[in-house]
Amino acid sequence: MLLAAAYFPPIEYFAAMAAGFTLSADRVNPSVVYVEACENYQKQSWRNRCGFYAESGIQYLNFPVRHHRDGSKVPIKEVLVDYSTPWVERHKRAIVSAYRTSAYFEYYQDELFSILDSHPDTLWELDMALTRFFIGKSGMPVELRETDIYCEPSAGRICTDAGSPWHMLPETVEYGCDLRNVIHPKRPDDILARLGLEKPYFQVFARKYGFIPNLSVMDLLFNEGPDSILYLKRLGGPGLRT
């Protein structure tokens, strides 16, 4: 599977990763996931923004990056994060305000915020550190790898396996199903429907605005904690609160 880098990635991003691993009584087969490391930076994507559930409803966080003055394209791994404004503190305050009463926020807050406070130099370092954090805390067996070559999204290949959740979605020879341009804030998709994950889970402000799907995975982790993997893998379980 091939994904683009993302900041506090959406739930569908992790649901797609979870779809690739299998569990049995004596063995775990991890999901192998590639993150696009050979592209140029793209604006208005999940690479530097995320959605979360605030007291006033869905809100978005994004962080600034430094652009080349000549307007040239910048490789994703060379994009520098701009810390000239106190956006880290603003993001932390927004997250605390939204999730301080959630069941598991206090268990993850310090370690999560330490990543933000470390001020990684590049967008790539920041996004990958957060992605690895959420993989680890959700307990998902995922092998996260970087791509070593760039494959054009318009290569014309699609998944023709009718039994796959990725049926008729783009794919690459090298990395499998290509969700780089499918999971995007400006393009609605049916990833959660394909995976049978349109069900609700507990959300702090659901009584005011109802259940909001596909927010940042932090919304799921802060509200469901260790049971997040049960939700992502459609395992149900008595601990999952609804």
State residue 235's pLDDT score.
Answer: 65
Give the model confidence (pLDDT) of 27-81 as tens digits: 888 999 999 999 999 999 999 999 999 999 999 999 999 976 555 689 999 999 9
Does residue 237 surpass a pLDDT of 50? no
Q: What is the pTM of this model?
A: 0.93
Alpha helix (H) residue ranges in the chain:
11-18, 87-99, 105-117, 123-138, 191-194, 206-209, 217-224, 228-232
Strands 31-35 and 2-3: what pairing? Answer: parallel
Q: Are 104 and 222 a contacting pair, CB within 8 Å?
A: yes
State residue 71's pLDDT score.
Answer: 59
Give the model confidence (pLDDT) of 213-227 as tens digits: 999 999 999 999 999
- The residues spanned by each domain of the chain are 2-232
- Could you give the percent of the chain with pLDDT greater than 70? 93
Q: Are 159 and 1 a contacting pair, CB within 8 Å?
A: no
Give the model confidence (pLDDT) of 153-195 as tens digits: 866 799 999 999 999 999 999 999 999 999 999 999 999 999 9
